[in-house]
Chain A
Amino acid sequence: MKRSKKLIAMLLAGGQGSRLLSLTTKVAKPAVSFGGKYRIIDFPLSNCTNSKIDTVGVLTQYQPLILNEYIGSGTPWDLDRTYGGVHILPPYQAKDSSAWYLGTANAIYQNINFIKNYNPEHVLILSGDHIYKMDYYDMLNYHIEKGADCTIATLEVTMEEASRFGIMNTDKNMKIDEFEEKPKVPKNNQASMGIYIFKTDKLIEYLEADNELDTNHDFGKDIIPTMLKNGEKLFAYPFKGYWKDVGTIESLWLANMDLLGDKPRFDLYDKSWKIYSRITGFTPQYIGESSYVDNSLISGGCYINGKVINSVIGSNVVIKSGAVVENCVIFNNVVIENNAEVFYSILDEDVKVGSGAIVGEKNAGSKKITVVGREYEVGKNQVIKSGQNIEKEGK
């Protein structure tokens, strides 16, 4: 006799994240590095771990290999379980059909059997590309207390940003009476975070109905509006705290910078909410005699003998003497040779910067971040201007 679960999580990790330019040419957005040693997906996954959710389906599609290998059997997030645990769910060929995931709702629809296997009372739908800390069980308790069919986590955004989000109107009990996806003229600034908890039977009912129709098969565009129209009980769960959608180069860079400073906006040292990840940089870092490190985060395995200022450095990075790295986000295994200078840039994994090269510009700012893609080798004395997106040729 199988125990049925109270809540399982379905984590949408299939998107391309094309606005991250060359950073997502070879990897899906949730596998992109963040905060030095982490990857974006570590944050929603760690939220699951810390929320004591032991069953997580990770729906992959775009360039899943690195993500799949990274997640593995889920041990780093305590999700290697006998009953439950983390499961990678790619699109698959079934007897009657096979299809890529056509939209967020369709992705879940194609995995209804996975959900039914655990027979949970509720399903949590998450996306794998946001940086935030959240106890999903608090949201579940709220959802149960309200007797909701669907609860949507919401965030107050600025009115300028509001038209990028699903905006909802609620009554004084937080019951949703109106929902507009990316409205041109938003009525208020209560935005959907793309985090939903559904009563399982309602979710399945609406996914099955939606499958028959010719829609975008999207939660925000189709499922939620339809449920609302049918008078289902939808509630908003207001979230207070740091939350960043790191879907653009600028937002990814800014969110990394939020980790720095005496009082960082996002605290990685919060003992009550650890962020778990698969370890890469093993050996302690060596800070050399010619180094100068100021207001930066440095991950394991690094050799630093140059200047590192206001930057976030990944694992096993080498920064040789005379080199300057300022206002940068450097991913794992990058080598920056003597006297090279890197300003306002994001360097992808395994990039090499030759001696004397100059990448980016000293006062470029967050809107003109230079991006250098995976494994690219910047030549000796080569100059790459600000705002460029550089990619290695070939496969």
Chain B
Amino acid sequence: MGALGIIFADGKFDQLGDLVKVRTEASIPFGGRYRIIDFTLSNFVNSDITDVGVITKRNYQSLMDHIGSGKEWDLSRKNGGIVIFPPFGNYRNDTIYQNTIQALYGLIGFIKKSKEDNIILTDCDSVNLINYTDVLSTHDKNDADITIVYRNVKKDEVKSDYLVLGLDKDNVSSAQFGIKNDVSAISISTYIIKKELLIDLLEVAINKGATSFDQEVIVNNIGKLNIKGYLYDGVYLGFDSIKSYYENNMSLLNEDVRKEVFYSMPLYTKVRDSAPTKYGSKSKVENSFIADGCIIEGTVKNSVLFRGVRVEKDAVVENSILMQDTLVSQGVSLNAVITDKNVIISANQSLSGSKKLPYYIGKNVTI
């Protein structure tokens, strides 16, 4: 009982600002060396889902570079494995997808070819540890047409584009955007759909000119199809703003969060041959999460450092997230700053944001 996995690598990109200007959502760096898609792929592989398609839209070159043949996730296979779909579908003479219906329809051949009975469709905008084996077995046991994986959030956390489910035990009786109940069941945008059903629904949708997958496939079929909800209550780190990006990374300074995120089950990512991190004789590091290949000669407190970061003498980095290969020169002082890859901060400058509004410096920028 397996499934074909399909990942939307670039769903809600308009909300993440500059973080996704240069990359897909799925490529968002997290936790010192990972990207969001590493968690999605690891969840699949850990549930023996090894036939995976990735739908991309913009900036997919770095994603393709990260995934390569899929070998590091054990997804370089003779049978199945991972396929990345650039955004030119076979729909209407190879134009770029305009919406999720067209994007999915572009994969109709891939879906039809699959020998699996079920398709898992998921966004790639959160770090989570969904156990797909359990979701699939529940979906099968219920003989559900569609299973929606959801999580419970408090009323004031509901945003206008969240799909809020009304549940009667595990039957989904309603689905509306942005409704605030006391405890809201929010779709994580991870769905299990019977393959044949999905194909039929897509054919109808494409002919109608429908544009929204959520609306067309999910909302319009409430009451008509057997739609079940599956509660996911494990770790969930959603990325929908610079602030959430900051908080999610900072949460890794907490031991319990680290244990859950990194040590609950095998986690796969691309390997980069870096040397062990070097701590100089005047370095001072406290409560920080540091990837390898870093050279630290200054002070680092309450921060997350990605691979290859250099913090020179007399530099002070606090409450910050420094992405890969950032250079913090001598005498620089940083507080609540997020630096994207390859940022260079020249000597003796002082930059500060606040924890609620961290100061983000874009990829390749030199200050």
The interface of chain A, by Cβ under 8 A from chain B, is 35-37, 75-76, 260-262, 268-269, 274-277, 279, 281-289, 291, 293-300, 308, 312-313
Q: A286 touches which one: B278, B281, B283, B288 (CB < 8 A)?
A: B288
Contacting pair A297 B277 (CB below 8 A): yes
Given the known A-B contacts A287-B287, A287-B290, A288-B287, are A297 and B278 also in contact in the complex, defined by CB atoms under 8 Å?
yes
Is A285 touching B278 in the complex (CB atoms < 8 A)? no
Contact A284 B287 (CB under 8 A): no
> At the interface, yes or no: B182 with Cβ under 8 Å from chain A?
no
Q: Which B259-316 residues sit within 8 Å CB-CB of chain A?
A: 262-263, 267, 269, 271, 273, 275-281, 283, 285-293, 295, 300, 304-305
**Alpha-carbon distance A287/B277, docked complex (angstroms):** 11
CB <8 Å contact, B273 and A36: no
Taking a contact as CB atoms under 8 Å apart, the answer to whether A283 and B262 are in contact is yes
State in angstroms the CA–CA spacing of A300 and B272 once bound together.
12
CB pair A268–B273 under 8 Å, yes or no, is: no
How many B residues face the partner with a CB closer than 8 A?
Answer: 34
B281 touches A262 (CB 8 A): yes
Q: Which residues of B are interface residues toward A (Cβ below 8 A)?
A: 31-33, 71, 253, 255, 258, 262-263, 267, 269, 271, 273, 275-281, 283, 285-293, 295, 300, 304-305
CB closest residue in chain A, given B310: A269
In-complex Cβ contact of A284 among B255, B278, B285, B292 (8 A): B292
Q: Which residues of B contact A269 (CB under 8 A)?
A: 275, 278, 293, 295
- Bound: A156/B276 CA distance, A: 30
| 6 tightest Cβ-Cβ pairs between the two chains A and B | A284-B32, A268-B275, A36-B276, A284-B291, A299-B276, A295-B281
Tell whether, in the assembled complex, residue B285 and residue A300 are in contact, meaning their CB atoms are under 8 Å apart: no
A281–B272 Cα distance when bound, in Å, is: 12
Nearest residue (CB) in B for A264 is: B278
Assess the A291–B292 pair: CB atoms within 8 A. no
Does B291 contact A275, Cβ atoms closer than 8 Å? no
Provide the residues of chain B in CB contact with A297, threshold 8 Å.
275-279
Instruction: Give the shortest distance, in Å, between B39 (CB) and chain A (any CB).
Output: 13
CB atoms of A298 and B275 under 8 A apart? no
Chain B residue contacts of A286, Cβ below 8 A? 253, 255, 258, 288-290
Contact call B273/A277, Cβ cutoff below 8 A: yes
The interface residues of chain A lying within 8 Å CB-to-CB of B276 are 35-37, 268, 297-300, 312-313
Q: Given A269-B295, A299-B292, A300-B292, are A289 and B277 neighbors across the interface (CB < 8 Å)?
A: no
CB neighbours of B280 from chain A (8 A)? 262, 295
6 contacts between A and B (CB under 8 A): A37-B276, A269-B293, A283-B262, A285-B290, A297-B278, A299-B292
